[in-house]
Structures are given as structure tokens and as C-alpha cells.
Chain A
Amino acid sequence: MRDFAALFQTLDETTKTSLKVQALAHYFETANDEDKLWTIALFSGRRPKRAITTTLLRTWAAECAGLELWLFEECYPIVGDLAETISLILPDSSDTYDYTLTHWLNALIALSKEPEDLKRAFVIDAWDHLNGTERFLFNKLITGGFRVGVSQKLMTRALAQATGQDEADLAHRLMGNWTPQTTSFETLIEADDPEAALSRPYPFYLAHAVDGAPDQLGPITDWHAEWKWDGIRGQIILRGGTHFVWSRGEELMTDRFPEFAALLDFLPSGVVLDGEILGWKDEKPLPFAALQKRITRKTVPAKLLRDTPVILYAYDLLELNGEDLRESAFSTRRAQLEALLQSLPETAPIRLSPSIEANTWEQLATHRAQARDKQAEGLMLKRCASPYLAGRKKGDWWKWKLDPLTIDAVMIYAQSGHGRRANLFTDYTFAVWNGNDLVPFTKAYSGLSDAEFRQITAWVRQNTLQRFGPVRQVPAEHVFEIAFEGIQRSTRHKSGVALRFPRMLRWRQDKVAKDANTLDDLNEMLVIYG
């Protein structure tokens, strides 16, 4: 694992993209095939199932370090990362193992079925024979979640550099339902494999936000406009008489949305559709909160299926008759999509996402203002002549979202962040007034500058009223403007509302606590927008 640790360290120590790609490419040129495959898997979010609970890890780590558990637990939020906390408190070892990354991963996978005492013996032996970065990485392999500032795109670019293969082709190969146990580096990266190709989605094209008004995009006739839906971006694949549903996060969700199996009855094989999965009732979209219940269930009970049926709001056609259409113009693909979906019965769980006609940008802006009534977040703008690109490439797809809803709220609790933000208080709980009481209604942890976070952190440290583990209660003094995309009634929250995408828009240093909004204001928003 030493070469992997060296790679990790290089990636971790630089913010320069070119150096990261260079380090990754060097690794892909020098590591063995198994390790390369695992590295690709880890950096694309494919980690093995957690073999050991974090509770056990904490207990064992405290024991090994000769510390009481409470002391370990106090260190954790300060470090902000469990794997790191463990590696920091353990004593250094003089006699270390030099096994490959694959060796450790296979051992951990095999361990998942073993009894607890064997797990314990294995983990402690590993801790005793690893140091520094390697010990940290070993813990990360167990707890998962590598955040090293390497996007899949970056990794793909490095892999393309190292193998001499086309980047787009590689990106396509890396999609889908593989794990290092089900494939090999040769099969995944080098060989032709029709079986694997069957379920493989295309890399999603992602839009950028319009900066200000869209008129700098040129004549409106070059553009196609449609609603921006608030659902799950998904790709539905119909090939070889079977179907697959992929989320944008490359998660295979076929089983979560069983109603899409019916598409096989309505559409030919060799079709790949891009669109938004939406809860759908009475010919209109359900709010995102309804869909959320579906996402969290791996298998769907019949009642939920009845209450929250889903459809695909299709807006692009990537494959037809088994042929990759991505190179053709959006307008051509759209015409083919319209033809394909024309005259489908209402029972088919699919709709064509309607186009929005406008002759001027001003006209379009008027449409945009109606988005909330349509249950949409705003508009999407797609260049008529553009091919379907991979990833977040600027220029052809834009999202022109509505301005968020906002409310002024008082900060009442603060908690330190994780990772890069460990040791800074970045996660806050906010409240609004209900008479003389403050009712907490949301948390938010983004939107401020580093300098503001530092300033608030210093204030929190000096003004803590009470500590509840890592959470600190602070005086109700600071007012923040909270922006959010939607509001829903919620029985789970004291305030009775749940917000969608809450974040801090700005710190209102010009306001004092009593200037904050009230629960009545929130309820009014609920009536208008909920």
C-alpha cells in the first residue's frame, strides 16, 4: 500500500489539477493491475461494504491507545474524521507490513463474515504494523468515503493519459455496476465486453448555472427551453429485452422504481433516455419530499407505490435502435424523442418534458417567473445545435433557476465541520420567533466565506453557553439570511416545516436577533409555496 499512500499524500498536499493528474497518471503507469482497479473503484465511490462498525473501531482504538473511550470521543469532533482520529491516537509502530492495496481490501472483504474476535485481532494487528498515512488509509478503507479532491473526471483524464485511450470512451467504461470483484482491469479498461456494455449508462451531461441574465447567450432562436424539474436526474436503459435505471450519482436504482419495467411494453429495445424521475399524480409532479420516501427504500411497499407513483419526464434521447446519438444535434435528438413518445398511452410511466416557446428573452423570463406554479425550479436552456457532452462542460446547457426563497433567522447552535473544516464552527442551527420563543427550523452549513467562518468560530468559542458533545449553544445574537429552494409541511420538525437546500445567503450584521422573521412568516410561505 506504500505506493497508494504516496499517491494519496501527493493528491492531498496539492490543490493544482495538473499535479494531481500527473500523480495519478504516474500511479496508473506503475501500479499492478489489481491495485489500479481498486484505486479506480475507490475514487469512483465503489468501496467494499463496511466490515466493521465504527462503534467497534472506536472502542478498540481507545483500548489500544490506553485511553478512556470518552477521551477518544472528545478528540473525534476536533479532528473531524474517524479514520484520522484513530491513526493519530495509536502509538507508532517500528515493525511495519508492506502489503498491496488489494491485499488489504481482500482481507477486509473476507473479514466481513468472521466473528467479532477475529475482526478485532485482525484490525489490531494491522494497526500495530502500519504507520502514518498507511494507517490512516487502512482505516479509511474500513470506514469509506475518500475525499481527496479528485473528481471522477480528473481520474479518467489521468487514466486516459496513462493508457493512451480516449477519455470519453474510458468515462463510458467506468460507468455502471462493476466492482473489482466482478471484473478485472483488463476487462474493464482494455477488452471489449458486450455483457458489461448492456447495462452501461452514458456519462451524464451536467448544466451550469446562468450567471445573471441569459441574453449574453446570443439569439434565443439558438436555444431550446424547458422546465427545470426538482426530481432525480435519471437515465433509463432499455437493451436486450431488459431495463436499467441509473441515477446521476451512478447508482443503479432499477429495483427502487419497479414501475419502469413497464416501459419495455411501450418502447423498443436499444433505447436510452435521459430525464427527470418525478413523483407524479393527477398529471402533475409531486413535491420532492414525496419522492424522497421512494429513494430511501431499497424495496418499495405496495402502499408507497400507490401513494407516490413515479414517471420519467424525458428530455433527451441518447440511444435509438442501439445507436449512440450523442454526436447529433440536440434538436435532432429532441425530434426523435418526440416521435418515439408520440401516442403513448397515459399508463406508460413516461412523459415528454414540454418545450417552452418564447420569441424573446423577456418572454422567456415571464415564463420563468411561473416556475413555482409548475412545480419547477426554473428553466433549462439547451443549445439546439449541441451534441450531448460528458460531465460539466460549460457552454451548451444552462440552468436558469428561480431566485431562492429567503428568510432571516437567528443562529442558536453551532457545531464544528468535518474534514477541511474540522476545528471551525461551520454547521449552525437556526431559529425564528414564535412569540418570545425561538423555534429551531433548519440547519445550514454553507454559503459563508472562510473569513466569516473564522470570525464566527472565534465568537462561538468565547460565547458558548452550554456544550452538548460537539454541539455548542450560543446566545441568540447573530442573524443570517437563509436561502432555500422549497418549503414543505413536516411532522418531524418542531417548527412544522422542512426546507429544501437551505444555505446561508449572507450574514446580516446589520440586524439584531429581534429583527429575525417569525414562525408565522414561515407558515405564510408554506401556504404560498408549499
Chain B
Amino acid sequence: MASAPLITFTDRGIYCPRADVYVDPWKPVARALITHGHADHARAGHGHYMCTASAAPIMLHRLGEITLQTVQYGDVICINGVDISFHPAGHVVGSAQIRLAHKGEVWVISGDYKIENDGISEPFEPIRCTHFITECTFGLPIFKWQPQAVIAAEINTWWARNQAAGKTSMIGAYSLGKAQRILSMLDVSIGRVLTHGAIEVSNGILRKQSVTLPDTIQVTPDVDPKAYAGAMVLAPPAALGSKWARSFGASSSGFASGWMRLRGVRRRRALDQGFVISDHADWNGLCDAIKLTGAENIYVTHGYTDIFARHLRGIGYNAAIVETDFQGEAAQSEESEAI
């Protein structure tokens, strides 16, 4: 008798029938395993949540009163014979790949991940498995990231140059993850760092769980922006170009995203500067990660799925596309996060 697969794909999300758990489901379910706290992965309305201890504070902040069980990375929880464990994904603080194993069939669901150690998130660990479900937001060979130190130097040089010209620097970055990563890359000997309230909320939560971040000044109605000429301002992308942003006087604005790799996207945003930095794996990162799992069966979700799957099949994998609700097609995902 052929046994049913350990994991199936349903219209509620990725499902393990034997353990009766879903991973990052997009419709309400009884039991949800959550890879990380971003809104398209951690949704409201589930009966019971499980995530890593370091992802929990953000989850609780965003989802309010939920029934939440936390685990440490590497801890194994056994449900009806399925061994379930969470492993660092390097995407944001607390983010995890989720491993489900039963009788030699081992599935790893990547969630969102990046290979490079950003110094804040728990660094990505490759996990051996037989079936790997991977995101491929940037699953094209045109997407290749520079080391973080190179981008840090770019940002700091730009900041210092703006400051010398009497301008405030303003970077648009997502309030959870990218903003803290940029913050940690800043050379704070250049000047003060101001933050938009939406970013400061995440900063506060992360500081409370002992993530070290440089000092910041939240921009409140009491703060006179003009008193901080030449400062660095971190704000959610939607705040750039707003009345709020104009209150800082002469400024130069930049945007930090993997999409900034493309000239067309950079120009469409009409910003002064694009910094190519992403919390998703680049082409080489995806290819390496897949290789390191040792898996033969690869399922690709959000991103350039059809192209990436065809490539994987061409080099000998069993690759299939899995439709998910994780922010539709890639170009949208980084551009549409609300404040």
C-alpha cells in the first residue's frame, strides 16, 4: 500500500495530514506552524500558533491575543509520529525553516530565507531533507547580492556626502527586518539616526529581546526635524515623498531592496539612490541552499516559479510549482508592504 505523502498542498496552505498542522496557512485553521512574523506568513484567525521563541514578541504584537506555543531552534516536537523542528532561516529575527519528518521522509519548508549572515537574524542553517519547499522571490540569475559590508560602505559614504552638502539622508525600508538591518549597518559616528514610528515599534520589540541596535530618535510631533540637519532618517517606503518626509527640509532619499538591482525599477521610483540589499536569497543563494539540502524533490513557491522550476528540472531535480498566497508574484512583495 502506497502511503499518503507527509505534506499536501491545500487551498488553506501547506498541510501535514498526519500531524494535522499547517505551515503559514492563509486561511484560518486549527493549528498553524509559523515561519516568521511578516504579515503574509503570520495571519490572524488560527486556533493555535507555534513559532520560535525569538519570533514570538513580534507575532504577539501584530496578532494580539493568540494561543501561542514557542519552541527553541532545533527542539523536536513529536505529533502523531511526525517530528517537527524549527531551524534558522536568516530572513529576520526569529525566522525559521520548518522541518517535518516521518519514517525517513523529511520535508523542509523554507519560509523566506537568506544565506548571508546579517549580524542580527539567527544565521541560516542548511537542513538535509528529501523534499524541500523553497521560496524563489529572486529566482533569476540577474539577482546577485554584494556582501553586506560593501553595501554598508555605500550607504555610509552616501550619508556622509549628503551631510557635507547640508542634506538629510532618508532611506525607505520595511519596518520589520530591513530597517533594523540597515540600522545595524550605519556608521553612527557620522550623525544621528531618526526613525519613523512604525520602525521604532519594531526596534523597541527587538531591543527588549536583547537584539543590539544603535540608538535612535523617534520622530514625534515634539521633535523638530530641522534640529537634526544631516541626520539619517529611516522610514517605511510609503513615507518617502510624503508631507512627513518633506518636513526634514533638504534631503536625499534612497530605497533599500533587492529590486534596486534593476535600473528600470530604480528609475520608476525616482529616488536619488537605490541600495541593492535584500532579506531574500539571491540566485546563487537559492541554488546553493537547494544543493545543501540534498533533496531530490523541490517545490518552488512565490517568485519567478515557472522559470526557476524549469531550471531546476534542467539540472536534474524533480521540481514542481506550488501556488501559494505568499504575496503573489515577486515584484509586488517588496513593494507593497504597508506601514
Interface residues of A, Cβ cutoff 8 Å to B? 12-15, 65, 67-68, 70-72, 74-75, 78-81, 84-85, 88-89, 92, 136, 418-424, 450, 458, 461-462
Contacts and interface: CB of A to CB of B under 8 A. Distances in A.
Nearest to A62: B141
Contacts of A92: 144
B209 to A, nearest CB: 36
B140 A12 contact: no
Interface stretch (B38-46, B116-124, B234-242, B324-332): B324-332
Interface in B97-153: 140-144
A14 B272 contact: yes
Interface string B300-339: 0000100100110010000000000000110110000000
Given A13-B273, A88-B142, A423 B265 contact: yes
A89 B142 contact: yes
B140 A78 contact: yes
Q: Sorted from nearest, which 5 A-B pairs have the closest CB atoms?
A: A422-B264, A88-B142, A420-B267, A461-B329, A74-B307
B328 A424 contact: no
A71 B272 contact: no
B319 to A, nearest CB: 14
A191 to B, nearest CB: 38
A68 B314 contact: yes
Contacts of A423: 262, 264-265, 331
Residue of A136, A423, A424 contacting most chain B CB atoms (<10 Å): A423
Contact of A79 (B264, B273, B328, B332): B264
Contacts of A462: 328
Contacts of A424: 268
Contacts of B314: 68
A458 B264 contact: no
A452 to B, nearest CB: 14
A88 B331 CA distance: 17
A75 B264 contact: no
B141 A79 contact: no
A458 B329 CA distance: 9
Given A13-B266, A13-B273, A71-B311, 4 more contacts: A12-B267, A71-B310, A78-B262, A80-B262
Contacts of B328: 458, 461-462
B29 to A, nearest CB: 23
Contacts of B307: 71, 74
Interface in B244-298: 261-268, 270, 272-273
A75 B314 CA distance: 16
A407 to B, nearest CB: 30
A78 B258 CA distance: 14
A204 B311 CA distance: 52
A262 to B, nearest CB: 48
Nearest to A91: B144
A508 B117 CA distance: 49
Nearest to A419: B264
A78 B142 contact: yes
Nearest to A136: B263
Contacts of A89: 141-142
Contacts of B144: 88, 92
A80 B265 CA distance: 10
A424 B331 CA distance: 9
B141 A13 contact: no
A359 B65 CA distance: 78
Nearest to B331: A423
A107 B290 CA distance: 43
Nearest to A421: B264
Contacts of B261: 88
A185 B314 CA distance: 53
A81 B264 contact: yes
B267 A419 contact: yes
23 contacts: A12-B267, A14-B272, A70-B310, A71-B141, A71-B311, A74-B140, A74-B307, A78-B140, A78-B262, A80-B262, A80-B264, A81-B263, A84-B263, A85-B142, A88-B144, A419-B263, A419-B264, A421-B268, A423-B262, A424-B268, A458-B332, A461-B329, A461-B332
Residue of B143, B144, B264 contacting most chain A CB atoms (<10 Å): B264
Contacts of B268: 420-421, 424, 450
A139 to B, nearest CB: 12
B149 to A, nearest CB: 15
A89 B332 CA distance: 22
Contacts of A12: 263, 267
Nearest to B269: A420
Contact of B141 (A15, A65, A461): A65
A75 B141 contact: yes
Contacts of B264: 79-81, 418-423
Nearest to A67: B141
Nearest to B273: A13
Contacts of A81: 263-264
A79 B142 contact: yes
Contacts of A84: 262-263
B232 to A, nearest CB: 18
Nearest to B274: A13
Contacts of B262: 78-80, 84, 422-423
Nearest to A83: B263
A421 B269 CA distance: 11
A422 B332 CA distance: 13
A305 B314 CA distance: 55
A67 B307 CA distance: 13
